[in-house]
Structure 1
Amino acid sequence: MQELNFPKFEFRFKSNENKVSIFDEIRKKFIILQPEEWVRQHSVQYLIQHKNYPKSLINVEKELKVNGLSKRYDIVVFNPDGSIHIIVECKSHHVKIDQTTFDQIARYNLTLNANYLMVTNGINHYYCRMDFENERYEFLRDIPSYEI
């Protein structure tokens, strides 16, 4: 798999019928290893190991309704009160992050109301803090670490 712009993490793999799978600690199962899944698993480990978010507050690949359409978010980090703290949108390393990607996560956030957004293709990472009052986002150097 492509080397990504994340710290090095240890992963569990298995191979079955010429397909490699990676163990997802959040979903507690092996997932077929595709380029986007590689980025997603690195993002999850980054949140857990470098930003100290508890696994219990992280959700991966769940359905949500946006304007009546079914969509799937990549990663959501909840606050302890159940509100949404961060949405992470993951793309394959060969997908260029552009305005379309930011529009996608902004549409998701109309429903989810997260305080922070992260967009990554594993090579480039973008972090934003929502300014709901002025209906815009402010770019940051990184997302905040977990605080109790």
Structure 2
Amino acid sequence: MQKLNFQLYNFRFKNSENKVSIFDEIRKKFIILTPEEWVRQHVVQFLLEEKKYPKSLINVEKVLKVNGLRKRYDVVVFNPDGSIFILIECKAPEIKIAQATFDQIARYNMTMKAQFLMVTNGLNHYFCQMDFENEKYAFLENLPNYNN
């Protein structure tokens, strides 16, 4: 798999039926390793190891309804009260991050109301803080670290 713009993390892999899988610590199972999954697993490790978020507050690949349509989010970090703190959209490394990507996460966030957004293809990372009152977002250098 391609080297990404993250620190080096230790992953568990397994090979079955000529398909490589990577262990997802959040879902507690092996997931077929696709380029997007490679990015997603790096994001999870980034949240756990660098930002120090507890596993119990992180959720991966769940369905949500946006305007009556079923969509999947990549990664969410919850506040201890159950509200959504960070919404993360992962793309495969070969996918360029464009305005359409921000539009997609903004649509999801109309439902989810996360305070922070992250969009990444593993090579380029974008972080935003929402300003719901003025219906806009501000770009940040990084996401906040966990503090309870």
On whether the aligned pair clears a TM of 0.5, the verdict is yes
Taking only aligned residues, the RMSD between alpha carbons, in angstroms, comes to 0.2
**Alpha-carbon shift at residue 57 of structure 1 (Å):** 0.1
Aligned length, in residue pairs: 148
Q: What is the deviation of 1:86? A: 0.1
The secondary structure found in structure 2 opposite 1:37 is: helix
Give the 5 Å matches for 1:55-70: 55-70=55-70
Alignment of 1:1-148 (within 5 A): 1-148=1-148
Unaligned runs of 5+ in 1: none
**Gapped regions of structure 2 (runs ≥ 5):** none
Whole-angstrom CA distance in 2 between matches of 1:135 and 1:29: 38
4+ long deviations beyond 6 Å: none
Percent identical across equivalent pairs?
A: 72
Query: What is the TM-score when the length of structure 1 is the normalising length?
Result: 1.00
Deviations 1:87-133 (A, max 9, x none): 00000000000000000000000000000000000000000000011
1: CA distance between counterparts of 2:130 and 2:32? Answer: 33
Question: Counterpart amino acid of 2:129?
Answer: R
State the shift of 1:43 in Å.
0.2
Deviation at 1:20, TM superposition (A): 0.1
Distance 1:3 1:88 in 2: 20
